[in-house]
Structure 1
Amino acid sequence: MDLGTKLFRQTLLLLAGNRAAAAAAQRYGLKLGAGRFVAGLTLSEALTEMAELNRKRIAVTADHLGEGVRESAEASAYAEAYMQLLDGIHDRGLDAGVSLKPTQMGLALDPEAAYAHIRDIVRHAGEHRLFVCIDMENSPFTDATLAIVRKLHTEGLTGVGTVLQAYLRRSMDDCRRLTQERVVLRLVKGAYQEAPSIAYPHKREVDEQFKQLIRHRLDSGVFTAIATHDAAIIDWTCAYAARKGIQRSAYEFQMLYGVASTLQERLAQEGYGVRCYVPYGQSWYPYFVRRLAERPANVWFILKNW
């Protein structure tokens, strides 16, 4: 990554957490171009998009957007929105699960209350036989997020997994432990700004650890989601699995709504498990800016089509 691109990405990531910028962006709604990456502002809009993806043999992980709440009432409202999301998925008979962020449930405000919200959601999902993924946020919340998942499992709530980010130096150790505990994982490269002391700063290092994580999980037989749009990583994974005789039912590819749609459809048609991460809701701004930061070409696409 050249210096200009790095500075551009850092600036966007700073803006992702800027509430003044978020408030300004909200006035324009999805007209800024976020509609490419966000499935709508309402649950109804999102459910319609999920059904269309299912029609193409693509499963869904639905995310009611929101993070870093400042009041307990916000967390409670998000928890209720997830209950409605789970009911909507069940009522429509969709092939879908949900993802949620711990800070959205108030982790930074009241960890015990946040855990209670998450536990209620996971229990309700279990009633509908749906899966919950606890998203991984930036590094200050890594240990707490893993602790939440482990505690849920000890309570018998095993229909829940989490995410490991390949750019964090600790992730291989976390992967080994979670694999022994048979926790379902989504593997990603990572989209937050982290210090070089805890995160690999170079793409080649991130890619190498990503492959090591994938290899370890595929060899283990514990179900794994490989979340990437990197065609080279996808091809490497398919070749490795074929060479080792690993069944396609042991893993799936996950990609973002509005990104690499043709690739998603092709893999699904070839018989691979594919799941699309479908975000929706009023709090779309931080998510949108992180998508722009991941790939500067997305910015030029938005400007060209605005």
Structure 2
Amino acid sequence: MKLPFFLASRFVAGETLDVALDKLGEHVHDRSEAIAARDTYIDLVRTLAARSDDGLRNRISIKLSMMGQMIDEDFCEENLRQLLEVAVEHDMFVRLDMEGSDLTQSTLNIFEAVYPDFPNHVGPVLQAMLKRTDRDIDRMCELGVSVRLCKGAYAEPASIAYQDMNQIRERYLDYMERLLQHTDYSGIATHDDQLIGATKDFADRHDIGTDDFEFQMLYGLRRSTQREMAQDGYNMMVYVPYGTEWFPYFSRRLREKKENIWFVLRSLWKG
């Protein structure tokens, strides 16, 4: 049974669009739904561009599985190209979310197909927990692509993903260092104080300016930390999801950290 929406409200901005960066949803298997998702993303780009005076950074985050990735990669690529053409018109960056490991190679295939035509307006997400990410980092560094680096929120088997958090942190730190040195304005997506501190220290030691990368956090988590880091001069991007398809997203947030589960329990206790 799906939980009431109010329980997810800490992590999801709203069920209707006001100002947001990522429409929730995934795994579309119908072409008409994929086209509708593409058009929704295009409308989102235009809406954000029209509200640029509000101080929003010009970027959105999308899921290729919403635009027909699981139907046909060529079909999905064409939908993405149409979106990117509009994004270029408004000088808006499009981040390609990384979903489950079954879609990792497909996502990177589609990314590499469109990247030569839109080099300044598209970039992927890589997950530190996946064992394949080491070679994917090498490839993105070779291209100099802006990457969003996260730990990874999907449940994956030990055969393809690290399970121990200390090991995931170790891989994350290695990937962070390589991205900061060899890519253009990558995003360090974490709420982990250990990783945040290590990133700051590495940037300081290697004379990497605060304008050369950004920290990224989820809407609803570490709000005071987000403000403090921005006040300290670091670029801070808040990932703001919205939409009616909030349950899969909310479920992953619960699996990520114990504090998120305690938040739900407190909400239930308060009625």
Paired position in structure 2 for 1:74: 33
Q: Does residue 16 of structure 2 align to residue 42 of structure 1?
A: yes
Cα displacement (A) at 1:156: 4.0
1:184-222 CA-partner distances (Å, limit 9, x unpaired): 100000011111111111111110010000111112252
Write the distance in 2 (CA, Å) between the matches of 1:96 and 1:221.
Answer: 19
User: Partner letter of residue 133 of structure 2?
Assistant: S
Q: TM (normalized to structure 2)?
A: 0.94
Paired position in structure 1 for 2:202: 240
Write the distance in 2 (CA, Å) between the matches of 1:95 and 1:300.
Answer: 32
Aligned residue pairs, count: 265
Structure 2: segments with no counterpart, 5+ residues: none
Write the distance in 2 (CA, Å) between the matches of 1:290 and 1:107.
Answer: 21
Paired position in structure 1 for 2:49: 90
1:141 pairs with one of 103, 107, 114 = 103
* 2:240 counterpart SS class: strand
User: Partner letter of residue 204 of structure 1?
Assistant: N
Tell which deviates more after alignment, 258-267 or 75-84.
75-84
The 3 A distance-change label for structure 1 pair 178 and 131 is same
CA RMSD in angstroms, aligned pairs only: 1.3
Q: Does residue 72 of structure 2 align to residue 113 of structure 1?
A: no
User: Partner letter of residue 223 of structure 1?
Assistant: Y
Paired position in structure 2 for 1:287: 249
Matches within 5 A, 1:222-233: 222-233=184-195
Asked if the contact 1:152/1:158 (under 8 Å) is kept, the reply is no
User: Partner letter of residue 66 of structure 2?
Assistant: Q
Paired position in structure 2 for 1:10: none
Q: Does residue 158 of structure 2 align to residue 202 of structure 1?
A: no
Paired position in structure 2 for 1:64: 23
Cα displacement (A) at 1:137: 0.8
Paired position in structure 2 for 1:166: 128
Write the distance in 2 (CA, Å) between the matches of 1:108 and 1:280.
Answer: 22
Cα displacement (A) at 1:305: 2.1
1:1-54 CA-partner distances (Å, limit 9, x unpaired): xxxxxxxxxxxxxxxxxxxx4xx44xx4x22x111110001112xx1xx6xxxx
* 1:43 counterpart SS class: coil
Write the distance in 2 (CA, Å) between the matches of 1:219 and 1:158.
Answer: 18
1:49-76 CA-partner distances (Å, limit 9, x unpaired): x6xxxxxxxxxxx111110112112111
1:261 pairs with one of 208, 223, 227 = 223
The 3 A distance-change label for structure 1 pair 242 and 157 is closer
Q: TM (normalized to structure 1)?
A: 0.84
1:274 pairs with one of 232, 236, 241 = 236
Q: Does residue 258 of structure 2 align to residue 296 of structure 1?
A: yes
- What percent identity do the matched residue pairs reach? 38
Write the distance in 1 (CA, Å) between the matches of 2:104 and 2:96.
Answer: 11
Write the distance in 2 (CA, Å) between the matches of 1:160 and 1:219.
Answer: 19
User: Partner letter of residue 36 of structure 2?
Assistant: A
* 1:115 counterpart SS class: helix
More helix by share: 1
Paired position in structure 1 for 2:148: 186
Write the distance in 2 (CA, Å) between the matches of 1:123 and 1:257.
Answer: 28
Asked if the contact 2:67/2:79 (under 8 Å) is kept, the reply is yes
Cα displacement (A) at 1:257: 0.3
Write the distance in 1 (CA, Å) between the matches of 2:119 and 2:180.
Answer: 23
* 2:181 counterpart SS class: helix
Structure 1: segments with no counterpart, 5+ residues: 1-20, 51-61
* 1:42 counterpart SS class: coil
Write the distance in 2 (CA, Å) between the matches of 1:156 and 1:42.
Answer: 30
Q: Which runs of 4+ in 1 moved over 3 A?
A: none
User: Partner letter of residue 12 of structure 2?
Assistant: V
The 3 A distance-change label for structure 1 pair 143 and 221 is closer
Write the distance in 1 (CA, Å) between the matches of 2:260 and 2:99.
Answer: 22
The 3 A distance-change label for structure 1 pair 166 and 287 is same
